Amino acid sequence: MEEAEKKLERMRELHQKLKEAACAYYQENSEIMSNFEYDALYDELAELEKETGIVLADSPTVKVGYEIVSELPKEAHAVPMLSLDKTKDREALPGWLQGREGVLSWKLDGLTNVLTYRDGTLVKAVTRGNGEIGEIITNNARVYKNIPITIPYKGEIVVRGEAVITYSEFERINNEIAEAEAKYKNPRNLCSGTVRQLNNEITAQRNVLFFAYTLVSAESVLAFSTRKEQLDFLTEQGFTCVEYFIATPETVVELIGKMEKKLPENDFPSDGLVLTFNEIAFAESLGRTAKFPRDSIAFKWADETAEAKLLEIEWSASRTGLINPIAVFTPVELEGTTVSRASLHNVSIMEGLSLGIGDTVEVYKANMIIPQIAENFTRSGTAKPPECCPVCGGKTTLREENEVKALYCMNADCPAKKVKAIAHFVARDAMNIEGLSEATIEKFLNEKLITKAADLFRLSARKEQIVGMEGFGERSYQKLMDSIEAARTVSPARFLYSLGVPNIGLSTAKLICRAFDEDIERVMNAAAEELVAIEGIGEVIAEAFVAYFAEEKNRKEAEELLSLLELERPAAEKSSPIAGKTFVITGKVFQFSGRLELKNYIEERGGRVTGSVTAKTDYLINNDAASQSSKNKTAKELNVEVITEAEFLEMLGGKEE
């Protein structure tokens, strides 16, 4: 009895850990444990369930996926999207095939999409979601780089595949992000956020690729007997299909070996292979379990691991003061390359591994690409977060948020903060000064060309020194000067955002500036109660905002910058019929390229756009006034007027170009 209770207690513990990890991964696009650790805990739970015959409610071994929390519309899948049973034993696969042919393809690590075509046109795209209900992302799918918007076949077909972002595109996007903590952890997280954007202009800029791998359904005139025929058909229709090979019990192990050798050359992320029966009738006759279809199985790479000695933990500082731990260990060979460093992401992960200098650790590459520490055999637990910042020597402090511990430097004058702060100041959404990478900013600081952001606007006096610097010449200098001069004229919101006020993104900066009639002096002197009165601004943001400008150093820096800049006046005049009005936009728009353009159009004329309908909303713009959407229902309950796009433009006397 005691042993059974221990097992049940361990199951509850595993259940909670896996649930928290899945929530962080799928809902918040963050990681609190490695894939290696997650798989190990999952396998342990599955084995305990098998031993005890008990499956706890909402167990991750039964429930597929996680809750959806975006504002995207949702839809139930006609055919539930189950996850696949998995194995790391390639020698088990010949027997699994039961003497039949299989189709062996890459298991892509992105976001599953289901596409519906009618009359040769893409009419709907839905994410996997939780396996039963997905999010509708049709506008985003239309801007994928390789997706066919129209196809030759005019009947209705439903296609399943994976949206992915390549490693090279992942690196390009991350290289454009100045702040270390803002960079994406891996291509899968970047893809997830990109595919589920509310603004498909952002999706279009990120070069998403779609690889088809299943014809879910088609009108009866399409009679295919094999998966290969289906994939050939999809290729003929213009789809990029996942690379696949026909496997037999005699060839499947050899094929896995060949694909394994190709893995380091692939630009797309893959976390294994998928083997499915080629003969459709036989595959369909197998049915499914509560969680898995029986016609397919996932083969996951047995991670190549190596033991290493932990030499030190480096601490990397950022603009906000966040200091992230990086494990440095004796060099080891993994997947054909030498590895000696791995990010630990945060203090919680470091503590969870009980790391200490000199410990023997097990290292592997997640998806054969990203170095991770899988296990610590010594678990001395002697490594502690530094009490002083490794860059400036200032005092550090630990903060815990959502049960994740992180370390921060408290010195406002930390050089690392200066580099990151100026990088934020010159970023595209802020002052948009091109030609100033973090390396260049650090060089300028070291050479005493600048000590703060305002000095950038005085660099013309240091021409001779800059032109003589390595990597700079007359042409580079002039391009930088032109960019700096162009940045002298800036909107109040972009200026406010550039200062790096805590919790103030560009959209929040726009909200605040608009509330104070774009008067930056009023903005800087705003009281907390005035800020809280702005819809979308809470007490925490308001108090941090007031505290920022109450600090003499921050205010002086802002005032010095203002003396060197010219703030743009807002395009909207107070006489605009929509000035001060609050709008919510839902559904398709036809006279604008998208809802973002309509949002900007409203804001330029003094109106406000929010994401949800409340008692403070003046108008809901929806071209389908009879829609039964939640926003329409809320608008009717609150007596908020629902208007079409055309009626909105009539209020303004027509669309101004």
| pLDDT at residue 656 tops 70 | no
* Confidence band for 456, pLDDT divided at 50, 70 and 90: very high
The residue ranking higher by pLDDT, 421 or 131, is: 421
The confidence score (pLDDT) of residue 67 equals 38
Q: Is 646 exposed, middle or buried (0-12, 13-18, 19+ CB in 10 A)?
A: exposed
| pLDDT at residue 644 tops 50 | yes
Range in 190-199, 231-240, 501-510, 604-613 with the lowest mean pLDDT:
604-613
Answer whether 202's CB lies under 8 Å from 215's CB. no
* Amino acid at residue number 208: V
Using alpha carbons only, how large is the chain's radius of gyration in Å?
28
227 Cβ neighbours under 8 A, 6+ residues apart = 103, 276, 277, 278, 280, 283
The residue ranking higher by pLDDT, 33 or 650, is: 650
% of the chain surpassing 70 pLDDT: 89
Alpha helices in 488-629 (DSSP H): 492-498, 506-515, 520-524, 528-532, 539-550, 552-564, 595-604
The residue ranking higher by pLDDT, 362 or 631, is: 362
pLDDT in tens, 295-319: 899 998 766 788 999 999 999 887 6
The average pLDDT across 515-530 equals 91
Range in 19-23, 439-443, 552-556 with the lowest mean pLDDT:
19-23
What is this structure's pTM?
0.49
| pLDDT at residue 178 tops 70 | no
The average pLDDT across 576-583 equals 85
Range in 205-214, 277-286, 611-620 with the lowest mean pLDDT:
611-620
pLDDT in tens, 526-539: 999 899 888 667 78
| pLDDT at residue 574 tops 50 | no
| pLDDT at residue 462 tops 70 | yes
The average pLDDT across 153-164 equals 91
Which residue's structure tokens are 């948020």? Answer: 401
The confidence score (pLDDT) of residue 657 equals 54
* Confidence band for 264, pLDDT divided at 50, 70 and 90: confident
The confidence score (pLDDT) of residue 524 equals 94
Q: Is 290 exposed, middle or buried (0-12, 13-18, 19+ CB in 10 A)?
A: exposed
The single-letter DSSP state of residue 334 is E
pLDDT in tens, 28-78: 555 677 777 787 888 888 888 778 766 665 677 764 443 333 457 777 777
Mean model confidence pLDDT for the chain: 84
The full DSSP string for 71-109 is: SS-EEE-SS--PPPPEES-GGGHHHHTTTS-EEEEEEE-
The average pLDDT across 7-11 equals 79
The single-letter DSSP state of residue 293 is B
Collapsing DSSP states into helix, strand and coil, what is residue 20?
A: helix
User: How many Cα atoms are found within 13 Å in the side-chain-facing hemisphere of 416?
Assistant: 22
The confidence score (pLDDT) of residue 539 equals 81
* Confidence band for 570, pLDDT divided at 50, 70 and 90: low
Q: Please give the helix or strand (H or E) that residue 116 lies within, else none.
A: strand 111-118
The confidence score (pLDDT) of residue 371 equals 85
E strand spans, 319-453? 322-334, 337-343, 360-366, 370-376, 396-401, 404-409
The confidence score (pLDDT) of residue 573 equals 46
* Length of the chain (residues): 657
The confidence score (pLDDT) of residue 268 equals 87
203 Cβ neighbours under 8 A, 6+ residues apart = 140, 143, 144, 194, 195, 197
The average pLDDT across 4-33 equals 72
**Which positions are catalytic?**
107
645 Cβ neighbours under 8 A, 6+ residues apart = 589, 590, 591, 592, 598, 621, 623
Supply 325's token pair. Answer: 């731990």
| pLDDT at residue 185 tops 80 | no
The full DSSP string for 139-201 is: HHHTTSSS--SB-S--S-EEEEEEEE--HHHHHHHHHT---GGGS-SSHHHHHHHHHT-S-HH
Range in 71-85, 164-178, 437-451 with the lowest mean pLDDT:
71-85
Distance separating alpha carbons of residues 563 and 397, to the nearest angstrom: 35
225-229 contacts: CB < 8 A, separation 24 or more? 225/279, 225/280, 225/281, 226/101, 226/278, 226/279, 226/280, 227/103, 227/276, 227/277, 227/278, 227/280, 227/283, 228/103, 228/278
| pLDDT at residue 443 tops 80 | yes
The single-letter DSSP state of residue 228 is H
The average pLDDT across 370-387 equals 90
Distance separating alpha carbons of residues 203 and 188, to the nearest angstrom: 14
* Confidence band for 641, pLDDT divided at 50, 70 and 90: very high
SS3 content of the chain, % helix, strand, coil (to 5): 35, 25, 40
What's the 3-state SS for 310-325?
A: EEEEEEEECCCCEEEE
| pLDDT at residue 138 tops 50 | yes
* Confidence band for 245, pLDDT divided at 50, 70 and 90: very high
